[in-house]
Amino acid sequence: MSEYGDAKNASKSGAYERDMNYITDRIEADPGAQWPVEAGRYRLVAARACPWAHRTVIVRRLLGLEDVISLGLAAPTHDVRSWNFDLDPGGKDPVLGIERLQEAYFARVPDYPKGITVPAIVDVPSGAVVTNDFPRITLDFSSQWTEFQREGAPVLYPEEHRAEIDEINGWVFTEVNNGVYRCGFAADQEHYEKAYDRLWTALDRLEERLTTRRYLVGDTITEADIRLYTTLVRFDPVYHGHFKCNRHKITEMPALWGYLRDLYQTPGFGDTTDFVQIKQHYYIVHTDVNPTKVVPSGPDLDGLLTPHSREALGGRPFGDGTPPGPVPAGEEVPEGHRPA
């Protein structure tokens, strides 16, 4: 998503409210669909900084869709016109030929009036955004792109666990994924404290759940773990201080800290996590929260590589599948941007 100006998205009451209006078209396996599944036709535009976009990068990698859906990466900082491609030569996306993601939105809807958000899937031939419906994108990678998934791709949204996954995803989104934003962008003390209490009630609930089980649902990594991971991995570097979510650090919660290390050390998770870009985005873009734009040097993140001992709880990360191979050339997180 784009958090530029999110501090202004508080209601008159002082509570933060996320705009959840998206382009909800889907890319489907039906050849007669408006947007049919087709190798090479679509480009996923993401940003390493954004937790909502990070989900799509993880799922694309776990399922082995890298050669089927290309990846464009926006820069971590932007202005009111939103995401740009300043990281690419000449400041243009090399496939779409655009300087800012808003150009792809305008190609779909002239003067698009809503947020210019990542992730977005763009139809390369027309240069127009197909969808930015981030919760649906990853589910469709699992269900609609099966023909092109790699051999050994894990089942991230198994039929037998979908009801439980949906239930957990629902409250994790409202209480944790979005809960940190309700704390960070609350416009007054009362609404901040209410948001803070809700967030920590949910984190305590997760701590209890993950004390006796390796993953959130079943005995393998699922969509639910991916959605929680992208918030947890940003918690100590950003949300604890920047968003005032500071009752504890994740490193101080034994089950969540072990769970986070377990996932970080799993191919597809840590190797897609860029802490430099994450911190740059939040501390530089959120000028209402951090007007100096000073980016903190800490915290020390080397602990993510320490043993977690979560194997004792059982479970198999990829079920009957296998880990993904090396990160494709050109998609690696830059050296020095993560513990490795």
**From the candidates 4, 22, 42, 50, which is the catalytic residue?**
50
- Neighbouring residues of 117: CB distance < 8 A, sequence distance ≥ 6: 1, 2, 22, 52, 82, 132, 134
Q: Angle at CA 60, nearest 5°, toward 55 and 63?
A: 120
Residue ranges per domain, the chain? 6-148, 163-313
- Neighbouring residues of 205: CB distance < 8 A, sequence distance ≥ 6: none
Same fold, 6-148 and 163-313: no
Q: What does the pLDDT average to over 220-230?
A: 98
Output the pLDDT for position 160: 98
pLDDT in tens, 139-153: 999 999 999 999 999
Question: How far apart (Å, rounded) are the C-alpha atoms in residues 255 and 270?
Answer: 18
Q: What superfamily does domain 6-148 belong to in CATH? A: Glutaredoxin (3.40.30.10)
Output the pLDDT for position 177: 98
Q: What does the pLDDT average to over 28-37?
A: 97
Output the pLDDT for position 20: 78
Question: What tokens does 292 get?
Answer: 């100096």
Lowest mean pLDDT among 62-66, 79-83, 112-116, 169-173: 79-83
* 9, pLDDT greater than 60: no
- Looking at every residue in the chain, the average pLDDT score rounds to 95
**From the candidates 4, 16, 181, 264, which is the catalytic residue?**
181
* 132, pLDDT greater than 50: yes
Instruction: Find out whether 284 and 278 touch, Cβ atoms under 8 Å.
Output: no
Question: How far apart (Å, rounded) are the C-alpha atoms in residues 50 and 272?
Answer: 12
Q: What residues are paired with 122 via a beta bridge?
A: 43, 129
Nearest to 48 by CA among 24, 74, 25: 74
Q: Is 195 exposed, middle or buried, given 0-12, 13-18 or 19+ CB atoms closer than 10 A?
A: buried
The string of DSSP codes covering 142-171 is HHT-GGGSPTT---SS-GGGHHHHHHHHHH
- Neighbouring residues of 104: CB distance < 8 A, sequence distance ≥ 6: 45, 96, 98, 120, 122, 127, 128, 129
Q: Distances in Å between the alpha carbon of 202 and those of 193, 233, 241?
A: 14, 16, 19
Active site residue 181: yes
Output the pLDDT for position 2: 55
* 8, pLDDT greater than 80: no
- What is the value of pTM for the model shown? 0.96
Output the pLDDT for position 5: 43
Active site residue 50: yes
Long-range contacts of 191-194, Cβ-Cβ distance < 8 Å, separation of 24 or more: 191/10, 191/13, 191/14, 191/15, 191/16, 192/244, 194/15
For 240-262, give one letter per residue: b (16+ CB within 10 A) or e. bbbbbbeebbbbebebbbbbbbb
Q: Is the peptide bond before 119 cis (omega within 30 degrees of 0)?
A: yes
Report residue 13's pLDDT band, with 50, 70 and 90 as the boundaries: low
Question: What tokens does 181 get?
Answer: 């934003």
pLDDT in tens, 182-217: 999 999 999 999 999 999 999 999 999 999 999 999
Q: What does the pLDDT average to over 155-170?
A: 98
> Locate tokens 């150009």: which residue?
103
> Locate tokens 């981030």: which residue?
134
* 1, pLDDT greater than 80: no
Q: What does the pLDDT average to over 233-253?
A: 98
Domain 163-313 is found in CATH 1.20.1050.10: yes
